[in-house]
Amino acid sequence: MVFDSIDVALLAGIVYLLRQVINLDGRVKGLSYTLDQVTNQMTLPEYLINDDLRKLISEDEEIKAIKKARETLGLSLVEGKKYIDQLKNDL
């Protein structure tokens, strides 16, 4: 199969974009680590929403608690579930 210049340019573009995504992923992980380190050094107040979330958890309304956490804190579904599970374990 013979590749013409459009195929080669398209392949080069895809490889370039993939490298950029990999680089950005590494930078995000590095920033996340740095943020975690700074957070561990500081005494930050708890989110005010946590009281409402704990109340929903105690009323066996975990799904509502996850939804509220996601909407309020901008979390993904997995992050919201983990956040609520952590609050539930702390009770």
Q: Are residues 29 and 61 in the same domain?
A: no
DSSP state at residue 4: -
Query: For residue 77, what pLDDT is reported?
Result: 94
Q: Are residues 57 and 72 in the same domain?
A: yes
Q: What is the pTM of this model?
A: 0.56
Q: Are residues 91 and 51 in the same domain?
A: yes
State pLDDT tens for residues 24-79: 999 999 998 898 888 888 877 788 899 999 999 999 999 999 999 999 999 999 99
Domain range holding 38?
Answer: 1-44
Residue 1 confidence class, pLDDT cut points 50, 70, 90: low
Instruction: Specify whether the CB–CB gap between 72 and 56 falls below 8 A.
Output: no
Can you tell me the distance from the alpha carbon of 48 to that of 42, in angstroms, rounded to the nearest whole number?
18
Q: Are residues 89 and 75 in the same domain?
A: yes
